[in-house]
């Protein structure tokens, strides 16, 4: 099982230290979030050497990892997925077989593009509420039970001291860093460029997170982009 920072490192580790060295018949699980092309290439190399391999990036962050409630998005053949299912059940609460090799990565970057866009929309709403003199707790009370509800609001509220247990209540100590969000958004934009997908909100979200990282906030939680929108 591997979880590594980027595709180049994944390729290097598997080509140099895993393929041909792991026991014959081993099932290889890469839980990194990387580009689709590298996931497919690495799986092909592993399968050519007689291994089963799946790409299985995760969602849920540090809290879900600690609590055993991760969601795995799995790409690869069904046989490999079924062999690995017991491990997924131990490490998380849900594993979805998304299709052939690379589709786990595809699901992850699409999911995180949604997350990035909705977090910025949530932060913009709180920044506007500030300007209008609306108590953030009242906005939360309304929107968390109305059509504006989303995970970025109801589980991960970015406004400090509104929802207990969130990074915003702890100085934006990260569950998922701004730098990691930017990495995933860039992977989504790379995929959009290759496939010709039209993602204007994804592109703007990527640009805004790049600005936030360039402002020295890469190590903060990604919900800290509220600080930029409030001019803090």
Mean pLDDT per 10-residue interval, the chain, length 232 residues: 95 96 94 97 96 95 86 95 93 96 98 98 98 98 98 97 97 96 98 98 99 98 98 79
What per-residue confidence (pLDDT) applies to 6? Answer: 94
Q: Which two tokens stand for residue 86?
A: 């017991």
The domain spans of the chain are 7-101, 108-230
pTM: 0.93
What per-residue confidence (pLDDT) applies to 40? Answer: 97
What per-residue confidence (pLDDT) applies to 63? Answer: 80
CATH superfamily, with its number, for domain 7-101? NAD(P)-binding Rossmann-like Domain (3.40.50.720)
Encode 47-73: b = buried (16+ Cβ within 10 Å), e = exposed: bebebbbbbbbbbbbebbeeeeebbbb
Please list the active-site residues: 108
Name the fold adopted by 108-230. 1.10.1040
What per-residue confidence (pLDDT) applies to 60? Answer: 85
């Amino acid at each position: 099982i591997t979880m590594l920072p980027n595709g180049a490192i994944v390729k290097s580790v598997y080509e140099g230290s895993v393929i041909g060295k792991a026991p014959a018949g081993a099932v290889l699980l890469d839980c990194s979030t990387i580009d689709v092309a590298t996931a497919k290439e690495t799986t092909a190399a592993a399968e050519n050497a007689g291994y089963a391999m799946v790409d299985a990036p995760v969602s849920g962050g540090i809290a879900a990892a600690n609590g055993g409630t991760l969601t795995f998005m799995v790409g690869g053949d069904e046989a490999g997925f079924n062999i690995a299912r017991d491990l997924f059940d131990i490490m998380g609460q849900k594993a979805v077989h998304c299709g052939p090799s690379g589709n786990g990565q595809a699901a992850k970057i699409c999911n995180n593009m949604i997350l990035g866009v909705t977090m910025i929309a949530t932060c913009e709403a709180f920044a506007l509420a500030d300007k209008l003199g609306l108590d953030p707790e009242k906005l939360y009370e309304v929107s968390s039970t109305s059509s504006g509800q989303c995970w970025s609001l109801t589980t991960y509220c970015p406004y400090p001291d509104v929802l207990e247990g969130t990074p915003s209540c702890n100085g934006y100590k990260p569950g998922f860093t701004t730098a990691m969000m930017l990495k995933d958004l860039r992977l989504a934009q790379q995929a959009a460029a290759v496939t010709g997908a039209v993602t204007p909100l994804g592109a703007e979200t990527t640009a805004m997170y790049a600005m936030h990282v360039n402002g020295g906030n890469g190590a903060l939680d990604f919900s800290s982009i509220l600080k930029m929108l409030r001019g803090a």
